[in-house]
Chain A
Amino acid sequence: MSSHYNPLQHPEVQQGTTGRYIAAFLASAALMGGAYYASTQKLPLMEFAATAAALSLAALVSQLALFFGLNISQAQIWKGVALFLAIPLFIITIGMTVWAFSSLYSRTMPMDGMLMSGQPTLLQ
């Protein structure tokens, strides 16, 4: 099997191109730079959050498509499917945790002790 199998001819080796990687770098860097620029513009919080989220999301998508080279070809389809199945879990893990704890915190009586730092220490 090993004698006639040339790993360098594998589609995952052959699929990368200089142009695509440079485009990926430029797109990601520009989008993240743009998000940073937005942070210096004293926008209202929600407006800034939406802008930064949109730009960062675009940066992530550009990395997935260009750096990771995800597409629907035979070689890559199952990676895409796996990611597609996992994305709801990312959202659920973070989203439901945040929801549960924001609701919990809004119902928890803040005690003075919580904000104090005078508890005994364990450190050496």
Chain B
Amino acid sequence: MATSNPTGAALALWNPGADEHDPISARTYGFWLYLIGDALLFCSLFASYAVLDNPVNAAGGPLTAQVINTPHGLWQTFIILASVLAYSLGTVSLKNGNAAGVQLGILAALLLGGAFLYISGTDLWALAAQGNGPTRSAFLSVFFTLLLTHGLHMLFGILWMLVMLVQVGVLGFTKDVVGRLLNLRLFWQFQATMWVCVYFYVYLLGGAR
């Protein structure tokens, strides 16, 4: 909307078209910021892990090399990457509004995520059953906390996927549903990226010492 000042020059003072902002971009950006905060949460866990991964803090109990299963970890890495791939391919179907493709991708990602959690859960359970549970020493406390924090993220992602499976069917591809599907993709990828860090730091480096 142009107006002119007393000298007659045209000035743009008001912009009636400006309300048309892009809600999906703001949404994924906000979620991305959340993920950065979440990454700092993992960072502080890694810092704690680095401090407590020390014979002094093991209080006579085991250290990393004795409590991990590196080959299992590698399989878990493949499974989690495949799960991310499945979900990502699901979002490719989103491009042409293919609801069945999206749901199939989510379902596959869900099942692979469940398989990951099964391996992780049985390994940790066996460790705790040997008497090396999180209350054994400060080191084991941080070891369990790091892995369970990642596991909790996965559980949260799985719950979210279940909700989205229903929403895609019930609500269809509304603005909110599409925004959530994009954010869930970021989240699911994020937890896999964090797992890669865990695998490198705990399983590979920790195992080598």
Contacts and interface: CB of A to CB of B under 8 A. Distances in A.
Interface of A: 1-2, 5, 7-8, 10, 12-14, 16-18, 21-22, 24-25, 28-29, 32-33, 35-36, 39, 45, 48-49, 52-53, 56, 59-60, 63-64, 67-68, 75, 78-79, 82-83, 86, 89-90, 93-94, 97-98, 101, 105, 110, 114-117, 123
The 5 closest A-B pairs by CB, nearest first: A56-B200, A7-B178, A97-B47, A25-B85, A21-B88
6 contacts: A7-B178, A63-B196, A82-B32, A93-B43, A101-B51, A114-B56
- Interface-central residue, A17, A32, A49, by most chain B CB under 10 Å: A32
Contacts of B82: 25
B56 A67 contact: no
A7 B74 contact: no
Interface in B44-72: 44, 46-48, 50-51, 54-56, 59-61, 70-71
A25 B108 CA distance: 15
Given A79-B32, A117-B60, A35 B204 contact: yes
B165 interface: no
Contacts, number: 155
Given A36-B74, A68-B189, A123-B135, A115 B200 contact: no
A12 B182 contact: yes
Interface stretch (B89-97, B121-129, B141-149): B89-97
Contact of B55 (A24, A86, A115): A115
Contact of A63 (B92, B137, B189): B189
A29 B77 contact: yes
B191 to A, nearest CB: 12
Nearest to B52: A101
